[in-house]
Structure formats: structure tokens, C-alpha cells
């Protein structure tokens, strides 16, 4: 018995110390921190802000994230893939990415606010002031999001929990302090901390990507980048409509009060999905850094994300009602049932997320496009048809059904993706940004340790 326990402990320590799993473990920790802080944030906001202000504020934040996601031109998912190959051109790649996506995000945000935003979003500030604030928020959120991707791409995983933990704490403090501003409370609490965090992380990244410390770019490092970016951007933009924009769509169909109930539950579930997405991001980085270990990396991370999302689904089934009581009694029904449905959908969604990560590492954008556009069509069409008659529960059922269909397709595609050779030139064994191990295969061959 003791021997079995000792062997299990040794296996767990070996897994925890695996350098190719380290990023996934740290990003799961980051998700746990942000999830807990998010739970507290929404619990407090539901008590200090009215339902209408909460619904409008949540719709505003969701719209900012959606517009930013589209206007990032998919850089969040491409940076981890290409920064590792870029060598001493990494800093230039990052600065060019900022120079393109920040003005596009600001312009996109301003046009969306003036032409497409629902009245619940426009209510935050009105057409003039609100439009400028919304545009600035989109630009700031783009930089903040890209910084996480750049930290992962340079394998500075350890800074990500600190960055997001400080952001979550600052949001909480501002929410309490700004509760008296009503409809402005959530938007201001979301945006103001970015003004401090963005410059600090930018300094870290600029130093990390100093050309003097890095090798020449890999041969063919940027081969096919434009094609990959354009096709993947279409898929990712479509996916943003079915995720970040879904609470806005529910508000448009059901109104701010019911939309607030959906937004609270949605925020809880997104903490699970963001954790899985972060682990998948680390999968892309680690596959690019060690293609010979692709199958092992994917198997290890797949087990972890399925255990994590499965545990979240069980926890939601057991704790949904007491958890939502922390927010407000009005959210318990039908929020508890909705929470169980949405969390259950995170299990097949985890498979899809990992399949997308492998497709990006292998530079196969066609698979990404099919999975993400398919999911968006199912979610949006189902929401428009079912939600007017079934309310927020209908939105949950649509989401679960779409994730099951796409998750099964992703499971069938995953073995093919693992066998595929990367599109474009590859340079396995080259030194990459943030790689301190000199490559595992070299250490093994010489009998050394990495």
C-alpha cells in the first residue's frame, strides 16, 4: 500500500516537473485565480449594482471583448506560434502587431458603437462620450490580451498569474469604489486597471525580446503566415460571435434584466473555458518548441483538460444553487439549471480547444475554419430560433448541443492532426525564444539532464 502510494507520488512529481507540461500547469493556476476573483467580482456586482445596470454593463464588457477579438486579426493565437520562431526579430514582430491591431481595434470599436451596438450598450455614455470610451476600451483590451499571448510565446508563463491576479484584485477594488456610478461601474472597473498593467508588462516583453539575447530567426519562420492569419482570423472572428457576443445577443432578445441573469452564469462558465483555452495555448507553444513530442504533449494535456472540465461539471451539478445564492436569490432560478447545462458543455469544448491548438501548431487553418464557423452557425441560429420562446435555458441547451456536435467532429479530426506534417518549412531543434533547455533530445543523447 505504502509502495503504491510512493509510486503514485513519484509519478505526480514527474508530471508536475515535466517542462513541456509546466506551461499548462501554470495556466491552470492562472485560471483558478481569475475564476475565484471573477466569482467574487460578479457576486459583489450583483449586490451593489441594479439588475438593469448589471445587464447593460455586462453587455458593454462582452461587446468590447467581441470587437477586440475580431480586430486583433487573430494575433492572440498567432503570436505564440510565431514568436518562438522569430528569434531576434521577435521584438519587431510584437511592435508591428501592436501598431496594426491597436488602431484597427479603436476604429472598429467606434464604428460598432455608432452603427451596430444595441441600446443597452449605447446607454453607457451615450453616442458621443460613450463611443470614444468604447473605442479606447477596445484598443486597451487588445493590447492586454496580446500581452498574455506574448508572455506565453516567450515562455514567461510565471508572469501570467501575477498579471491577471493583480488585474482581478484591482477590478474588485474599483467596483466597490465606483458602485455609486451605476451603469458606469462595470465598464470603468474593467478598463482602469489596464492603464497601469499594460505599460508594466510591455517593459518586461521589450526586455525579454532584446535582439542581442536572441538567435537568428528559424529558416522559413514566417512562411505561410499571411495565409494562416487570414484564414484563422475568419474562424476566430466567427467564434467570437458565438462566445463573447452571446450575452449581448441574449440581452437583445430577452432584455437587460434576464440578460443579467445569463451574464452572471456565463461569466462563471467562461472561467472554465478560459482555463482550457489557456492550456491549449500552451500546447501550441510547446508543440512548436518540440515537434518530436507532439503526441505525448497532446495526450498529457488532453487528460488534464478533460479532468478539469469534468470536475467543473460535477461541481456545478452539486453546488449550483448555493453558488448562485452568493449573487442574489433572483438568479438561482433558472440560473442553477443553466449553470449545470453550460458547464457540462465545457467537456466536449475542451476537446475542440485542444484540436484547434494542434491545428495552429501544424499550420493547418482549414481545420480551424471548419470547426469554428460550424460552431458559430449552430450557436447563433439556435439562439435566434429557440431563445425567444424558451428564455435563458434555451440558450444553454443551444450552447450544449453545438459543443457536442463540434466536439465529436474535433475528436475524429485530432488523430489526423497529430499525424500531419506542419505546412511550410520547419526547423526542429533550433533555439527558440525562452527555450532554456537546449532541446531535450540533445540532453538525452548525451546522457545529461534538461
Tens of pLDDT, residue by residue over 261-312, are 888 888 888 878 877 877 787 777 777 777 777 888 888 888 888 998 999 8
What's the whole-number average pLDDT of the chain?
80
Please state whether the predicted TM-score (pTM) of the whole model is above 0.85. no
Please report which confidence band the pLDDT of residue 94 belongs to, taking 50, 70 and 90 as the band edges. confident
For the chain, the structural domain boundaries read: 20-424
Q: What is the pLDDT of residue 105?
A: 96
User: How much is the pLDDT for 407?
Assistant: 95
For 1-56, what is each residue's pLDDT tens digit?
Answer: 455 445 544 444 444 455 556 766 787 788 778 878 887 888 888 888 888 888 88
Rounded to 5°, angle at Cα 186 from 185 and 192: 85
Sign for the CA dihedral angle at 316, 318, 319, 324 comes to positive
Q: Residue 436's pLDDT is what?
A: 36
**CA gap 290, 439 in Å, rounded:** 8
106 cis-preceded (ω within 30 degrees of 0): no
Q: What are phi and psi of 219, to 5 degrees?
A: -60, 130
pLDDT beyond 70 at 446: no
pLDDT of residue 340: 93
- pLDDT class for 223, splitting at 50, 70, 90? low
Burial readout 365-391 (b: 16 or more C-beta within 10 A, e: otherwise): bebbbbbbbbbbebbbebbeebbeeeb
Does the pLDDT of residue 428 top 50, yes or no?
no
Contacts 24+ apart (CB under 8 A), 23-26: 23/152, 23/155, 23/157, 23/282, 23/285, 23/286, 24/279, 24/282, 24/283, 24/286, 24/300, 24/301, 24/304, 26/157, 26/158, 26/160, 26/161, 26/282
- 357-362 average pLDDT score: 84
Across the range 152-173, mean pLDDT stands at 88
CA 49 – CA 42 distance, rounded (Å): 10
Rounded average pLDDT over 142-155: 87
Model pLDDT, residue 334? 78
What DSSP state is assigned to residue 437?
S
Predicted pLDDT at 260: 79
pLDDT at 320 over 80: yes
Amino acid at each position: 500500500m505504502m509502495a503504491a502510494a510512493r509510486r503514485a507520488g513519484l509519478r505526480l512529481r514527474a508530471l508536475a516537473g515535466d517542462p513541456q507540461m509546466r506551461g499548462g500547469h501554470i495556466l491552470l493556476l492562472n485560471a483558478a485565480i481569475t475564476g475565484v476573483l471573477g466569482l467574487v467580482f460578479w457576486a459583489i456586482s450583483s449586490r451593489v449594482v441594479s439588475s438593469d445596470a448589471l445587464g447593460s454593463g455586462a453587455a458593454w464588457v462582452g461587446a468590447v471583448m467581441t470587437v477586440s477579438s475580431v480586430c486583433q486579426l487573430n494575433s492572440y493565437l498567432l503570436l505564440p506560434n510565431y514568436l518562438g520562431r522569430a528569434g531576434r526579430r521577435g521584438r519587431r514582430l510584437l511592435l508591428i502587431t501592436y501598431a496594426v491591431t491597436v488602431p484597427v481595434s479603436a476604429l472598429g470599436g467606434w464604428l460598432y458603437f455608432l452603427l451596430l451596438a444595441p441600446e443597452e450598450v449605447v446607454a453607457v455614455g451615450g453616442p458621443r462620450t460613450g463611443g470614444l470610451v468604447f473605442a479606447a476600451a477596445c484598443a486597451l483590451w487588445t493590447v492586454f490580451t496580446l500581452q498574455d499571448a506574448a508572455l506565453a510565446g516567450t515562455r514567461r508563463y510565471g508572469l501570467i498569474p501575477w498579471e491577471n491576479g493583480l488585474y482581478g484584485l484591482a477590478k474588485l477594488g474599483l467596483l466597490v469604489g465606483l458602485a455609486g456610478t451605476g451603469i458606469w461601474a462595470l465598464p470603468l472597473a474593467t478598463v482602469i486597471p489596464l492603464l497601469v498593467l499594460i505599460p508594466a508588462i510591455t517593459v518586461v516583453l521589450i526586455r525579454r525580446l532584446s535582439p542581442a539575447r536572441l538567435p537568428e530567426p528559424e529558416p522559413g519562420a514566417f512562411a505561410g503566415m499571411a495565409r494562416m492569419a487570414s484564414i484563422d482570423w475568419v474562424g476566430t472572428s466567427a467564434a467570437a460571435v458565438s462566445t463573447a457576443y452571446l450575452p449581448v445577443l441574449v440581452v437583445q432578445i430577452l432584455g437587460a434584466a434576464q440578460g443579467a441573469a445569463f451574464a452572471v452564469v456565463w461569466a462563471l462558465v467562461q472561467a472554465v473555458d478560459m482555463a482550457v483555452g489557456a492550456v491549449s495555448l500552451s500546447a501550441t507553444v510547446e508543440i512548436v518548441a518540440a515537434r518530436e513530442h507532439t503526441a505525448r504533449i497532446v495526450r498529457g494535456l488532453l487528460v488534464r483538460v478533460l479532468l478539469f472540465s469534468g470536475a467543473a461539471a460535477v461541481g456545478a451539478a452539486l453546488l449550483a444553487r448555493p453558488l448562485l445564492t452568493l449573487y442574489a436569490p433572483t438568479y438561482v432560478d433558472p440560473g442553477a439549471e443553466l449553470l449545470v447545462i453550460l458547464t457540462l458543455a465545457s467537456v466536449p469544448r475542451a476537446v475542440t480547444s485542444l484540436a484547434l491548438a494542434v491545428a495552429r501548431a501544424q499550420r493547418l487553418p482549414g481545420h480551424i475554419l471548419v470547426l469554428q464557423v460550424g460552431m458559430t452557425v449552430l450557436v447563433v441560429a439556435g439562439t435566434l430560433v429557440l431563445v425567444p420562446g424558451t428564455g435563458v435555458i434555451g440558450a444553454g441547451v443551444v450552447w450544449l448541443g453545438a459543443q457536442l456536435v463540434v466536439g465529436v467532429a474535433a475528436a475524429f479530426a485530432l488523430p489526423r492532426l497529430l499525424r500531419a506534417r506542419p505546412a511550410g518549412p520547419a526547423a526542429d531543434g533550433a533555439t527558440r525564444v525562452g527555450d532554456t533547455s537546449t532541446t531535450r533530445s540533445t540532453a538525452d543523447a548525451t546522457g545529461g539532464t534538461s
